[in-house]
Homo-oligomer: A and B are copies of this chain.
């Protein structure tokens, strides 16, 4: 008889993992706290969007879901930086038209739930709020919509209930559980750029737009309805800071000065700024991820800040990595979870560090001449030496190496570029034999 796995949380990680496990022959029960997204009057493309890149796509491809998901995505082939005068600077992300995809979180989640629902060995329960877990016995308790208690017994429980995981609470009180939650000084607030008078995108839709302002920034990702969802990242306390931007006139002065080219297509900006909440940015690290018959996966195990666009991609890679481990262990869930934990934790730590590092980069450096010069060298190296040189962004976003390897190789790249700048070797970048020798010296 097939073993039953209960997934607490039916978000992106939970619904994708359910499909992986069902395909491996497990019976899967998903318990989700929120109502069924497919039933509620879902608002289409204007809600939060996410950047889907190669790691996430690779996981979807394993299940034959990549094409369907790409259909609802908008390719972004580079960053478009907006300065204080509204002037633009463009940097491609990769080469040969490599792109990341702006995807609606809601639409993607619905697609995955639909797929899961079509499989015989997956059952789903919505409006079920997890109230307790017995880690050793794989027993979980819930309160349903009617307020009634519901009990579930499985062979395994996997927490896919996100950064504020209810399952993780049981880990935290079970003794000798390493746990860290670390908040940024910055928070975030969402705003929107509307379509122009003709109903078209008001800016180039195939970019991720950035207004880098050193201590803060705004970014914008395109939606299918020709709008952009903007996010302002700014300290709570600071100059400027969310805590001190209170009156409409203060807000108006701020956005007009800082985002002069965007404000004309943000007619609701003052209302949105006043009304929309300020979210927090947290990095969560945990260990172990497995205790008794219960495991943590995705954001419940490792929440990261959004600055590398890798949160969802990392969770999807978690799922396909666990799928890989099940393959390696002949579907022995205990061995697979142990192997998964062993392989995965260093990568989760690496992407957490990468995301924090990229925040500084996006805010502080993107607009700086020295940074742009480094990026220009890196771009030339990537273009001329596609097989021999990979920028860290490329390794994280497009390549098939682990996050840990991307982290380590970033240091090698830095030292190589330091050398090029120090010894003024920019003119030699096209000299292939010379550069291959230099690579040998710096790159592993």
Tell which of A29-37, A42-50, A111-119, A176-184 binds the partner.
A176-184
Closest B residue to A172 by beta carbon equals B181
Contact partner of A182 (CB less than 8 A), chosen from B180, B280, B282, is: B180
A175 in the interface, Cβ–Cβ < 8 Å? yes
Q: Which residues of B contact A182 (CB under 8 A)?
A: 178, 180
How many Å from the CB of A400 to the closest CB on chain B? 33
Which residue of B has the minimal Cβ distance to A285? B180
Which chain B residues border A178 with CB–CB below 8 Å? 181-183
A181 (CB) vs chain B CBs: closest residue? B179
On whether the beta carbons of B175 and A181 are closer than 8 Å, the reply is no
CA distance A166 to B180 in the complex (A): 18
Scoring A172, A183, A236, A280 by chain B CB atoms within 10 A of each residue's CB, the highest score goes to A183
Q: How far is the CA of A176 from the CA of B183 in the complex (A)?
A: 6
Mask of A173-194 contacts with B, CB within 8 angstroms, 1/0: 0011111111100000000000
Residue of B nearest to A164 (CB): B173
Bound Cα distance A282, B176 (Å): 8
Taking CB atoms, residues of chain B closer than 8 Å to A181 are: 172, 177-180
B179 & A180 in contact (Cβ 8 Å cutoff): yes
A280 adjacent to B179 (CB under 8 Å)? no
CB contacts (< 8 Å) of A179 on chain B: these are 179-181
Contact B180 A280 (CB under 8 A): no
Secondary structure at chain A's binding surface: helix, strand, loop or mixed? strand
- The CA-CA distance from A178 to B184 in the complex, in Å, is 9
Q: Give chain A interface residues in 398-419, CB to chain B under 8 Å.
A: none
* CB-nearest residue of chain B to A182: B178
Which single residue of chain B is at the shortest CB-CB distance from A282?
A: B176
CB distance from A165 to the nearest CB of B (A): 13
What is the CB-to-nearest-CB distance from A164 to chain B, in angstroms, rounded to a whole number? 9
Distance to closest chain B CB from A285 (angstroms) = 9
Q: For residue A282, which residues in chain B have a CB less than 8 angstroms away from its CB?
A: 176
Chain B residue at minimum C-beta to C-beta distance from A175: B280
- Identity of the chain B residue whose Cβ is nearest the Cβ of A178 in the assembled complex: B182
How far, in Å, is A293 (CB) from chain B's closest CB?
Answer: 19
What residues of chain B lie closer than 8 Å to A180, measured between beta carbons?
A: 179-182
Bound form: Cα–Cα A280–B174 in Å: 12
Question: Hey, what's the 0/1 contact readout for A149-187 against B, CB within 8 Å counting as 1?
Answer: 000000000000000000000001001111111110000
Report A174-218 residues with CB < 8 Å from chain B CB. 175-183
Residue of B nearest to A183 (CB): B176
- Complex CA gap A282/B180 in Å reads 13
CB distance from A19 to the nearest CB of B (A): 33
Of residues 117 through 173 on chain A, the ones whose CB sits less than 8 Å from some CB of chain B are 172
Q: Which of B172, B176, B177, B183 contacts A177 (CB 8 A)?
A: B183
Q: Distance in Å from the Cβ of A10 to the closest Cβ of chain B?
A: 23
Nearest CB on B from A407, distance (A): 21
**What is the bound-complex CA distance between A176 and B236, given in angstroms?**
11
Q: Which of A175, A182, A236 has the largest count of B CB atoms less than 10 A from its CB? A: A182
Bound-complex Cα distance A175 to B187 (A)? 12
Q: In whole angstroms, what is the CA distance A181 to B179 when docked? A: 5
Closest Cβ neighbor of A284 among chain B residues: B179
Mask of A73-109 contacts with B, CB within 8 angstroms, 1/0: 0000000000000000000000000000000000000
Give chain B nearest CB distance to A76 CB in angstroms: 30
Question: Could you give, for residues 288-301 of chain A, a 1 whenever the CB lies within 8 Å of some chain B CB and a 0 otherwise?
Answer: 00000000000000
**Do B176 and A280 touch (CB < 8 A)?**
yes
- Chosen A-B contacts, 8 in total, with CB atoms closer than 8 Å, are A176-B183, A177-B181, A177-B183, A178-B181, A178-B182, A179-B181, A180-B180, A180-B182
Top 7 A-B pairs, shortest CB-CB distance:
A180-B180, A176-B183, A178-B182, A179-B181, A176-B280, A178-B183, A175-B280
